[in-house]
């Protein structure tokens, strides 16, 4: 894992040209992967990736029924933010499932995305 100080800027640089976030979605139920945070007690984290291939690596074992699903930045702002805030979810940046993965507050993450969104 790269240094956490560079994880967010790197993620944003990779998302900016595509305007896409990647998450894992169950093929049948259409549920999304959300799991217990490593860093925050009684908090869930939604892992997001900047690239489909990075997300696809995790579609094994317990998540073999999941596929990478794209979320446009426009949809993120319109449909996702309010629900995730209400649920108290934090965001895992290019999550690897390691103890040093960067988990970021949703409001900080969303503000950073707003700065790269192409209007």
Residues forming a β-bridge with 48:
93
User: For residue range 64-96, what is the model confidence (pLDDT) as tens digits?
Assistant: 999 999 999 999 999 999 999 999 999 999 988
Overall domain count for the chain? 1
More confident residue, 5 or 60: 60
pLDDT the model gives residue 82: 93
Burial state string for 86-109 with b = 16 or more CB within 10 A and e = fewer than 16 = eeebbbbbbbbeeeebbbbebeeb
Question: Is the pLDDT at 1 greater than 50, yes or no?
Answer: no
pLDDT the model gives residue 48: 97
Rounded to 10 degrees, the C-alpha dihedral 46/52/55/61 comes to: 130
Give the number of C-alpha atoms closer than 13 A to the C-alpha of residue 2, restricted to the C-beta side: 9
- CA-CA distance, 28 to 96, in Å (whole number)? 24
pLDDT the model gives residue 115: 93
> With contact defined as beta carbons under 8 Å apart, do 95 and 68 qualify?
no
Residues forming a β-bridge with 20:
72
User: For residue range 47-68, what is the model confidence (pLDDT) as tens digits?
Assistant: 999 999 999 999 999 999 999 9
User: For residue range 7-38, what is the model confidence (pLDDT) as tens digits?
Assistant: 999 999 999 999 999 999 999 999 999 999 98
Domain that holds residue 104: 4-116
pLDDT the model gives residue 119: 61
Residue 83 belongs to domain with CATH number: 3.40.1350.90
- CA-CA distance, 88 to 81, in Å (whole number)? 10
């Amino acid at each position: 894992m790269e240094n956490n100080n560079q994880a967010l800027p790197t993620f944003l640089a990779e998302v900016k040209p595509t305007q896409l976030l990647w998450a894992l979605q169950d093929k049948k139920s259409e549920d999304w992967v959300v799991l217990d945070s490593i860093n925050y007690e009684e908090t869930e984290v939604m892992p997001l990736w900047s690239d489909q291939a990075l997300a696809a690596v995790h579609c094994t074992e317990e998540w073999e029924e999941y596929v990478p699903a794209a979320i446009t930045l426009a949809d993120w702002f319109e449909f996702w933010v309010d629900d995730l805030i209400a649920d108290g979810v934090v965001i895992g940046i290019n999550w690897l499932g390691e103890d040093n993965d960067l988990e970021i507050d949703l409001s900080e993450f969303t503000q950073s995305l707003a700065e790269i969104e192409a209007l």
